[in-house]
Amino acid sequence: MEVLTVLVPYILRGLSITLEVTAIALGFGLFFGAILAILRVYGGKILSRVIGYYVTILRALPHILLLLVIYFMIARVVNLSAFWAGSVSLAIISSAYQAEIIRGAIQSVPGGQMMAARSIGMNRFKAIWYVIIPQAFRHAIPPWSNEAAIVIKDSSLVYILGVPEILRQAQYYSARTYKPFTAYVTVAAIYFLLTFITNRGLDAVERRIRIPA
């Protein structure tokens, strides 16, 4: 009983933070990842190489290490709350993964599509916007769903910056009551539900926009 009346509400106080961190990381990650991917494919040799380095470095290091490095780098330049610094760090990390997802999706659109678009007089930008992106978007959903699941769980990393998301709340609770098991199992169930709902939702989107054949 105490689990439902005390523990769950206590952990749920961190839920909005978990959701916000996740939304910021995924949202900004998508925005920057998409721009990086488009530039990587269509932006010419030099830009493509620079973005390649960005992606390679970010993917090569542990997220928690990056979080600390980016956090302390950002904290030196601007006075940012731990919440924002953590969220932005996760967004930067996710942008590298999402850039790769979107690049793959763009490149899986057959080359003839661009050629056909250009042949009716579309400029590059319009061809990318009206012909390539709508198709790439559909290809990107399954791997993006995977990335969403990872970011939901990575949102727990901001706890090392002292941001009170659900894992941090569970830890407080466990320290106060000496009931680590119930605390962590509860928080595990919440993570499970979050990823489960997100992935099912994205599956539904995928089915909904599937091109009839």
Partner 1 sequence: MPKSDKLIVKIENVHKAYGREQVLKGISMDVTEGEVVVLVGPSGTGKSTLLRCINQLTVPDSGKVWVNGVELTNPKIDIDKARQHIGMVFQDFNLFNHLTALDNVLLGLIHVLGMKKEKAHDKAMLELKRVGLANKCSNYPGQLSGGQKQRVAIARSLAMEPIVMLFDEPTSALDPELIGEVLTVMKDLAVEGMTMICVTHEIGFARDVCSRIVFMEYGEIIEQGNPDKMLNNPDLPRTRQFLGKISELH
Is residue 62 within the footprint of partner 1 (CB under 8 A)?
no
Is residue 115 within the footprint of partner 1 (CB under 8 A)?
yes
Which of 41, 99, 101, 117 binds partner 1 (CB under 8 A)? It is: 117
Which of 100-119 are b and which e, b meaning 16 or more Cβ less than 10 Å from the residue's Cβ?
bbbbebbeebeeeebeebee
What does each C-alpha distance from 41 to 8, 33, 48 come to in angstroms? 47, 12, 7
Distance spanning both ends of the chain, measured CA to CA: 53
Closest distance to partner 1 from the beta carbon of 196 (Å): 29
Would you say 45 and 126 are in contact if contact means Cβ atoms under 8 Å apart?
no
Which of 27, 134, 180, 201 binds partner 1 (CB under 8 A)? It is: 134
Tokens for 211, please give them: 């091109």
Residue 80 half-sphere exposure toward CB, CA atoms < 13 A: 19
The one segment of 14-22, 36-44, 60-68, 106-114 that binds partner 1 by CB under 8 A: 106-114
Tokens for 127, please give them: 């061809």
Compare residues 59 and 118 and give the one whose CB is closer to partner 1. 118
Is residue 126 within the footprint of partner 1 (CB under 8 A)?
yes
Is residue 107 within the footprint of partner 1 (CB under 8 A)?
no
Closest distance to partner 1 from the beta carbon of 127 (Å): 10
Residues that bind partner 1 (CB under 8 A): 110, 112-113, 115-123, 126, 130-131, 134-135, 138, 211-213
